Structure 1
């Protein structure tokens, strides 16, 4: 897996001068041949003055490790950083996903819940529960769950320390479930050595 770090640096150094379409075109060219790598650009969850380019592998632990071997991440510049894996977000759990037919569906992530199944030194296993929806199919639910969990504790933590034991509709048997917004603090307490855990309690 090879990435042109000098091109990535040049892009980040000139980000303010580029329209969003230009950024997308340049990143598509830089990442050509690495189609399994996605990307996301946004503010650092703690320091909003810093822009973060996250290179995502959709939670694939092996690909994330390969990326980290290829380049010594994080790569840090003047008010920007390039990191492996989508970092936790400063948000209220709201996002949108695009269905295969192009329809854009809003998702209120904090209305989703989680239930602990198992926990040990190797990680946390949870079930993820979502509100009934007539417009989200099985693939949509999994895609939305990925976005929600990455945004809550970070992609690297999901890949290395979190296992999902299924997605289920919220029903009357969910009295022991909690909103996903509380997963962040629970994870930080349970795995204090994990990436971002020093920041998780401070992210709003």
Structure 2
């Protein structure tokens, strides 16, 4: 996952048993809330460390929100190696399923050397970090010497364009706000979802 770019990379292993297969193809419906980056596909022969070319060795056709990928030409007729496929999707947490997790399921079909047809299914889950689901977080640290709590509120983890935005934080319980202590900073999101403070803007 790259939380700065808001992308997740999906990885597939194909023909790990190194059977002699033909007419291999795989359909991945891709759940709503994920958008396929069609320029990110990488299909490799793991055994020979070679990378295949779209349009020559394989073809991709869009199917609804997802796609079907098929071996082509010589690879369609005779494939005997262990192959790997990867591609990226952008993710939009506003479209996250109620479960809080995207489940990406793919179905592959092929014919073996004896002419028998086969089907195999696989799936993987992606659960965004809680702060990206909520698009915000709040934490506090207590200084026992000064008896002060420093609160940190982080907003807009998903880096959306906001209009007329505001942050309201009611102070409850036996706490007294220290005048002029509130500071507003821009922050940068790292690929792992953590953040780094930048310029103070208020």
Structure with the largest fraction of helix? 1
Q: Relative CO higher for 1 or 2, CA cutoff 8 Å, sep ≥ 6?
A: 2
The structure with more radius of gyration: 2
Structure with the largest fraction of strand? 2
TM-score range, shorter chain: under 0.3
| TM superposition score normalised by structure 2 | 0.25
